[in-house]
Amino acid sequence: MLLEQPGQLGALRLKNRVVMAPMGTNYSTTDGLSTARDKLYYAERARGGVAMIMTEAMVVTAQARPHHNSLCCYHDRFIPGLASIVDAIHAHDCYVFAQLNHRGALLRRSVLNMEPVGPSPWQNPNTGDAVRPLSVPELIEIQKLFVASARRLEQAGYDGVEIHAGNGYLFQQFFTPRINRRTDRYGGSFDNRARLLLETIERIKQALPDFPLVIRLSASEFVDGGYTEAEIVELAQRLERAGVAALDLSGGSNESPQLSKYCIQPPSFPRGCLGPYAKPVKQAVGIPVFVAGRVVDPADAEALLHDGCTDFVSVGRALYADPHWCLKAFGQVKSPIRKCIACNVCFERLTLEQDVACVHNDYG
């Protein structure tokens, strides 16, 4: 099986090709601190044989909280709790990266009164809230907040960091001409729309040159007026030149139910459906690529690798449903995989500000 073969991510040798996708849990305290539950949850997925875990999106500022009980990274007080998550995962011969995110225009007043902010005036389509354009000094401040959080991750013992630049959040809002209407150096041309992300990467690389950095992108926006395939390929090549270690590909945007389908695919979508969108990116870069999206059965993952769409397969909901998916896929545990049915109760619960749970998995 290709899935069982070790693979290289920069200097890290991953024991197989399965990476756990970043998925919010709402298992933290309301102060954003790690709990016994999140450690048990991640440790069980590490024990289940994945080569690497990308922990859920964490915010870089108290002004951008996504959920009431999401993990946070915006202050040094979070470091000990994050270090205990890292230790729980490392105990099972598994690497761990953390995802950092800023939701920008998709912040919600209903969650801790967060103010939606973005490149230019807009309305959060989910809530109808007005979006306040960010000033250039605020953009510089956000870049510095990403650096400070990445530094905390390194101190906590993470093996690397992922910046979320997909699924319709702040960096994608700047990159897409659909939403970014700025006329300054952060809007308009390709270079200007990519600037916020590239400057943030440059600052992180300057501060932490040896800390592996992965970028998550939506390979396609799946909507008229969004960025083109040529643009995402060009962006991927720029990211490689900027020293990024790998690209983690998703799709769509969580700004509306129509586009969110491409981030968290419903049962009607074919398995491995983002493979064809990942392939042109993979062919254009030399760094490893991950792709997520409706990988339910090990055969789905194998097909993505076999077809040359990706180097690693990012598995999300299937690991909520069965933490031991990998051990079962590789025949090391001889019982059938409890398969994700993409009912999206997990995501629904997150949206309703409840702790994530799976209809197939009573054990957590």
Residues lying near ligand FMN in the complex (CB under 6 A) are found at 21-24, 56-57, 99, 164, 167, 216, 250, 263-265, 292-295, 315-318, 346-347, 350, 356
How far apart are CB 289 and ligand FMN at their closest, in Å? Answer: 14
CA distances from 197 to 9, 73, 172, 256 (A): 21, 19, 9, 23
How far apart are CB 54 and ligand FMN at their closest, in Å? Answer: 8
* Closer to ligand FMN by Cβ: residue 86 or 133: 86
How far apart are CB 230 and ligand FMN at their closest, in Å? Answer: 24
* Closer to ligand FMN by Cβ: residue 64 or 346: 346
* Closer to ligand FMN by Cβ: residue 23 or 107: 23
Are residues 193 and 284 in contact, defined by beta-carbon separation less than 8 angstroms?
A: no
The amino acid sitting at 222 is: F
Largest Cα separation within the chain, whole Å, is 59
How far apart are CB 183 and ligand FMN at their closest, in Å? Answer: 30
Are residues 171 and 196 in contact, defined by beta-carbon separation less than 8 angstroms?
A: yes
| Exposure string for 290-313, b = 16+ CB within 10 A, e = fewer | bbbbbbbbbebbbbbbeeebbbbb
How far apart are CB 137 and ligand FMN at their closest, in Å? Answer: 28
> Which one is catalytic: 74, 95, 169, 277?
169
How far apart are CB 358 and ligand FMN at their closest, in Å? Answer: 9
CA distances from 298 to 20, 116, 315, 326, 333 (A): 13, 39, 10, 8, 14
Q: Find the distance separating the first CA and the last CA of the chain, reported in whole Å.
A: 28
Task: Tell me if residue 169 is catalytic.
Answer: yes
* Closer to ligand FMN by Cβ: residue 94 or 346: 346
* Closer to ligand FMN by Cβ: residue 145 or 278: 278
Vertex 264: Cα angle to 36 and 72 (nearest 5): 35
Vertex 85: Cα angle to 314 and 330 (nearest 5): 40
With CB atoms as reference, the residue minimizing the distance to ligand FMN is 316
* Closer to ligand FMN by Cβ: residue 211 or 325: 325
Instruction: Supply the residues annotated as catalytic.
Output: 169
